[in-house]
Amino acid sequence: MTTRIALVGFGHVGRAFAHLLLQKREVLRSEYGIDAVVTAILTRHHGWAREDAGLDLEALVSQVELPNHDSRPLIAALSADVLVEVSTLDVHTGQPALDHVRDAIRSGMHVVTANKGPIAQAYRELGALARERSRSLRFEATLADDLPVFNLVRYALPAARVLRLRGIVNSTTNYLLSEAARGTSFARALAQARRLGIAEPDSSNDLDGWDAAAKAAILANVLLDSGLRIDDVRRTPITPAVGKQAAAAARRGKRVRPLVTVTRDGATFAPATLSPDDPLFAVDGFSMALELETDVAGRLVVSLHDPHVEQTAFALLADLVDVARERGTNIHGL
């Protein structure tokens, strides 16, 4: 089965996804019956490329600039079965990714996205639109690279009700507090995170808790059927003073972690002091984890050790396989 893909965004994640498609092309064909063909790549500042019969992906991943720089085609005009949306995040508006997702679903495409904005800002709207148009909307990569949370609930917890979520979902702040516990200064740890490409040059979304708040909104709205907005999440910024708290806690045999907590009553992002018996105590450095408390399946913890952009790309690929296997069925969303 040929699956035509339109890729919006061709930065680190988009290129990693393209490399993974090339790497797994034969596996997708032989084991899953999926012939994945990229028919369009659109970017905001580095051009675009389109070929309805399929682009030469191997040639394009080595190019900084795509061949066309005139007005790019509208998403509705693309020949694609699936939109993979990995454009730049605007956590406060979800744009332009939100419009990309809307346009794709209205045009009959399934959507796979790593962009937190649309899901955090408009999950109910987009989910309803996908159901109305019998399209699939997949977003595993929006939370914590390829940490399997939504697919865990979808496929491994039938009839279970999620009651509460608690976890470490921002790798930058977890790294900063882990390093502070080892005696590294806050400024030095942040500079190192930037050199490694984990933290952005402007790290305010991480440090002020906006990235975590967006993820909290996604968890609340998808798994708890809440109407939580990003602005509703109570945030405590991660500052040098919190780093000093982490160092002091380490001397007492404890650890300070940047925790998101989500219930039906609301959500918070704040540093929390954990004892060694806490399942999140050992989640160190850039690693992330989430604890799910359920009504009948007990408490489950999923974790991801030292993630990189390749894990985000894999989450996109896994969702793409899921969508391809479901094409023509009535399974949409959670």
Q: Which two three-digit tokens encode residue 15?
A: 């290129």
> Distance between CA 148 and CA 332 in Å, rounded?
17
> Distance between CA 159 and CA 166 in Å, rounded?
21
Enter the pTM of the model: 0.93
Q: Using an 8 Å Cβ cutoff, are 296 and 159 in contact?
A: yes
- If you count DSSP H runs as helices and E runs as strands, how many of each does the chain have, helices first? 13, 12
Mark the ranges of the chain whose per-residue pLDDT is less than 50: 328-334
144: region left, alpha or beta (phi > 0 left; psi from -120 to 50 alpha): beta
Residue 74 has a pLDDT of 87
Using the 8-state DSSP alphabet, how is residue 72 labeled? P
> Which residues make up the CATH 3.40.50.720 domain(s) of the chain?
2-146+310-326
Predicted confidence (pLDDT) per residue in 224-253, tens digit? 999 999 999 999 999 999 999 999 999 999
> Distance between CA 214 and CA 142 in Å, rounded?
9
> Distance between CA 312 and CA 317 in Å, rounded?
9
> Distance between CA 273 and CA 100 in Å, rounded?
40
- Cβ atoms < 10 Å from Cβ of 138: 28
What's 266-305 look like in SS3? Answer: EEEEEEEEECCCCCCCCCCCCCEEEEEEECCCCEEEEEEC
Residue 333 has a pLDDT of 42
* Right CATH for 162-306 from 2.30.40.10, 3.30.360.10, 1.10.3210.10, 3.30.70.360: 3.30.360.10
- Cβ atoms < 10 Å from Cβ of 298: 9
Residue 328 has a pLDDT of 43
The residue among 161, 189, 157 whose CA lies nearest residue 263 is: 161
189: region left, alpha or beta (phi > 0 left; psi from -120 to 50 alpha): alpha
Fold of the domain spanning 2-146+310-326: Rossmann fold (3.40.50)
Residue 158 has a pLDDT of 93
